Amino acid sequence: MGFEVRSTPLTRTNPLTKIAIMLLITVGVVLSIDVVSASLMMVFVIVFFPLTGFPVKRLFTHLWFIPLAAFATGWATVLLAEGAGPVLFNFGPYEVTARSVEVGFALFLRSLAMSLPCVVLAFSIDSTELADSLVQLLKMPERFVLGALGAARLAGLLSEQLETIRFARRARGVAHGGFFGGLRDFLPIAFALLTEAIRRAVRLAMAMEGRAFGTKGRTWTRRVSLGARDWVAMGCAGVLAATCITASVATGNWNFILS
């Protein structure tokens, strides 16, 4: 993305802690479609946003699609939700009522409060630390996790390899210009890219096998554990989620999603 996430007490927590925080925040607003819980969670997200270490100025350049998608969800609900209450106005064949606007606004805030912190926190998760945590703390299969880690690392090289193949074809004079020329070059480029990806995967598998990945009793360079900071972070996220649910129930706005 071209930038680094600033180091904060939250970003220094374990990757599993960040995933647990995402789940707790989601639970705080996903169980009910109401303005109270969604608005309160949105306030919490704004207040604690600096702890994510994400540059505020990057919100508009990298995450502009999140509020846009949330608004689209809310607007579609306003138009398609079952009408109730006084009619505010007619939008073509659609009748917009006070109830549909309330539900649409609640879904807008709900989508924003769920997606924004999850995406922002994901920027601070290191794939290597996540793999170590999954194996050492959750006891997931080492061969599967480390294989997925290796595949994720190699996936980032595909774009560079694609540019190399395109430049090589241009140097040999076999590349075609224009839209239809690009379609004509698609199969040769895709075949060359697939071949190179298989070669890289084979070399990585042999290297991992030679270093005893996936065998029992293998030692770890980095030992992973959950410290006090992790438990405090998860506890705070749980309190925020419980506060949103309690406020919604106390004000009589609780609207269970399955009811």
Tell me what pLDDT residue 250 has. 92
- For tokens 């020329």, name the residue: 181
| Rounded mean pLDDT, 72-83 | 77
For residue 234, is pLDDT > 90? yes
| Rounded mean pLDDT, 24-34 | 87
Tell me what pLDDT residue 194 has. 82
Element (H, E) at 232: helix 228-250
Tell me what pLDDT residue 92 has. 65
| 182: CB partners within 8 A, 6+ apart | 176
Tell me what pLDDT residue 214 has. 65
Tell me what pLDDT residue 206 has. 82
- For tokens 């090589």, name the residue: 168
The pTM for the full model equals 0.77
Torsion of CA 8, 12, 16, 20, to 10 degrees: -20
| Rounded mean pLDDT, 61-84 | 81
Neighbouring C-beta atoms of residue 226, cutoff 10 Å: 16
Quickly state the pLDDT bin for 246 (edges 50, 70, 90): very high
> Which residue, 242, 231, 187, is CA-closest to 32?
242
pLDDT digits 0-9 by tens, 158-188: 777 777 877 777 777 766 666 666 667 777 7
> Which residue, 99, 90, 89, is CA-closest to 33?
99
Tell me what pLDDT residue 236 has. 93
For residue 80, is pLDDT > 90? no
